[in-house]
Structure 1
Amino acid sequence: MQITLDTPLDMHLHLRDGEMARLVTPCSARTFAGAVIMPNLVPPVTDSAAMRDYAERILQAADGCDFRPYMTLFFKNQTRQELETALANPLFFGLKLYPAGATTNSEGGVKNLGETGTTLHLMEEMGIPLLIHGESHGFVMDREQDFLPVYRNLATRFPKLKISMEHITTAAALELLDAHENLHATVTLQHLLITLDDLAGGMLKPHLFCKPIAKRPADRDALLQAALSGHPKLMFGSDSAPHPIHKKECCGCAAGVFTAPFALAKLAETFATHQSLDNLQAFVSGNARRIYALTPPDKTVTLVDTPMTIPAAYRGYGQEIVPMDAGHTIGWSVA
């Protein structure tokens, strides 16, 4: 069995910078036609000049692969002039809003959502998408649930603003997705497959720890069913987030799961297992292209039901990253 995907897209990707980016960028660029690149570097990517320079470094790290980085700016109440300057760059995609301190390198994020209205009105007027890390600072299992009223409020106040609920993890988020025309969502590979029990039910598995944290079986099952059924507002966003091994296997483990090199193969295996391969194209490209009117580079990727073993680690440029399911064999691979 095999499937050929047209212009697969990763709608939420962390490439980091420097030597780490040199190692991980080709892992995505070889199989994806493009990806929405997160801006939470240190310091964050907040202006057009930094965005342009970062895009150039990514394209250089892609090592000749036909790959389009869709660039985002770290939300900081940008002015009209700043947004117009960003729009002049054809690689600019949207703004990413982080509640301050909600996840990795988000300390400079938004502290008072009530002060964002001016920029959000400008984004609505100019057709700039808003991507949100939707978590509160409450109890870890309830943080997404607590944030849903914020999504509801924004969707109502700014009905023409295209809002993406990033890496959703709950059945409740899916219900909200269907309630507002201008809400869309991405979901990760890990949140389609694992629950909190996989992370912490036995011995702690740090390479499965991410934010938002994995939730209950009912949430996982709802997300998986939505993806398998071809939900028209749900897009694949890996949230693949590499960290050096010493930042994961330590006290104070960093949040992030690395899946980029094998994400498409594992998705193909998952959809095939559930007799839903016909809906994989929409999930990994069709929905995103329609929602955002994207025209990524022409690229086709063929996946076959030939087993592959996920490496124990990815190494290079002085970096070492342990992926999700390191050492495990999966049933599909890239042809």
Structure 2
Amino acid sequence: MTELLLHEPLDMHLHLRDGEMLRTVAPLSAHSFSGALIMPNLIPPITDAESLRAYRQRILEAIGDEIFEPYMTLFFKAEYDLDFLAPLAEEVTAIKLYPAGITTNSEGGVSGFDLETLSPALEAMSKLGIPLCIHGESSGFVMDREKEFVPVYEALADAFPDLAIVMEHITTAESLEALERHPNLFATITLHHLLITLDDVAGGMLQPHLFCKPIAKRPEDREALLRAALEAHPKVMFGSDSAPHPRHTKEAPGCAAGVFTAPIALPVLAELFAQHDKLENLQHFVSNNAQRIYDITPPKKKVRLTDTPMKVPERYGEVVPMFAGEEIGWSIAEVSEE
């Protein structure tokens, strides 16, 4: 039997939703992860101290006794300034910028990327050391949206060199190349983008539970992402973008975008890294890099995984996970405090 011990695994891009959905999915992440960066695109979005603190409290209530730190984010608004952000600096791990209407609950996002308009907020974030996370897609042809957004990343990186900018859930080789050109650019990579291409989503019968934004790309993009993850690229970290939706909104016209991977993320990552003889690098991909990039110290937690197969449940509540009903090759054997 092969086993792997992970210390303080982190998910640096997680959707927990709210209400009954929060109560269903939050314990699943809190069981196996030491912490996660929580996305703010609720209805209404998290844009102030009151809503941020209230949401954090609802998360803590949902996870019960699990050892888990919800790293909170604000939904980016151009009107944020130093006076507004300074009192929140210790409570806000990052601020998430969405182009308006580009993904789930992003209608209140940014329209256009005029640096003069964005400067007060971004300068304040630079001074306070609050990273900027971006869902980086244009409104162009769906397969080109991320590639078309790379110049925006680069313009922001040049204009605000002291601002850490995280390119969220990257899907293209072009995004990886941008990392090498700018010291203040970083990236998260999801589990599903390490495994699938557009062909898996729509090459045969449509697979709604694999439909996400940004959409899965070409085999060569997947291979580039996989190389970066397997080699524990120091500027890349795991962010599941696990995005739960009720089954009836996925298996429907106007299919909701999102892949639910939170409960099986660590076992599938262990299986993937083991297949490539890179198990020794998984600790960096799922924890060490994120701790350094975000300057965080997560709660102590040990997760022991083994190459013992497990069958993935058909559903968690109303949510269908990736690999539903299938057998995966690894499983979590034990979770404990250090």
TMscore range, shorter length: over 0.9
User: What is the rounded CA distance, in whole Å, between the counterparts of 2:90 and 2:4 in structure 1?
Assistant: 37
Deviations 1:48-105 (A, max 9, x none): 110000000001101210100000000012122220122143xx20110000001000
**8 Å contact 2:30–2:67 — kept in the other structure?**
yes
2:336 counterpart residue number: none
**Aligned runs of 1:146-185 on 2, under 5 Å?**
146-185=148-187
Amino acid across the alignment from 2:16: L
Aligned residues with identical type, % of pairs: 63
2:10 counterpart residue number: 9
Alignment of 1:323 onto 2:321: yes
Counterpart among 203, 206, 209 of residue 204 in structure 1: 206
1:100 counterpart residue number: 100
SS of alignment partner, residue 93 of structure 2: strand
**RMSD of aligned C-alpha atoms?**
0.7
CA shift at 1:294, angstroms? 0.8
1:274 counterpart residue number: 276
**8 Å contact 2:89–2:128 — kept in the other structure?**
no
**Aligned runs of 1:1-335 on 2, under 5 Å?**
1-77=2-78, 78-89=80-91, 92-114=92-114, 115-315=117-317, 320-335=318-333
**8 Å contact 1:48–1:82 — kept in the other structure?**
no
Amino acid across the alignment from 2:5: T
TM-score, normalised by the number of residues in structure 2: 0.96
User: What is the rounded CA distance, in whole Å, between the counterparts of 1:303 and 1:48 in structure 2?
Assistant: 38
CA shift at 1:112, angstroms? 2.6
Q: Structure 1 stretches (4+) deviating beyond 2 angstroms?
A: none
**8 Å contact 2:187–2:237 — kept in the other structure?**
yes
**8 Å contact 1:188–1:238 — kept in the other structure?**
yes
SS of alignment partner, residue 181 of structure 2: coil
**8 Å contact 1:227–1:283 — kept in the other structure?**
yes
How many residue pairs end up in the alignment? 329
User: What is the rounded CA distance, in whole Å, between the counterparts of 2:283 and 2:166 in structure 1?
Assistant: 20
User: What is the rounded CA distance, in whole Å, between the counterparts of 2:88 and 2:175 in structure 1?
Assistant: 30
User: What is the rounded CA distance, in whole Å, between the counterparts of 1:113 and 1:93 in structure 2?
Assistant: 23
Moved more, 115-124 or 265-274: 115-124
SS of alignment partner, residue 204 of structure 1: coil
**8 Å contact 2:99–2:106 — kept in the other structure?**
yes
User: What is the rounded CA distance, in whole Å, between the counterparts of 1:213 and 1:292 in structure 2?
Assistant: 26
Deviations 1:110-149 (A, max 9, x none): 1132121111111111111000000000000000000000
SS of alignment partner, residue 111 of structure 2: coil
Amino acid across the alignment from 1:325: F
TM-score, normalised by the number of residues in structure 1: 0.97
**8 Å contact 2:29–2:262 — kept in the other structure?**
yes
User: What is the rounded CA distance, in whole Å, between the counterparts of 2:104 and 2:8 in structure 1?
Assistant: 29
Amino acid across the alignment from 2:327: T
CA shift at 1:36, angstroms? 0.1
CA shift at 1:181, angstroms? 0.4
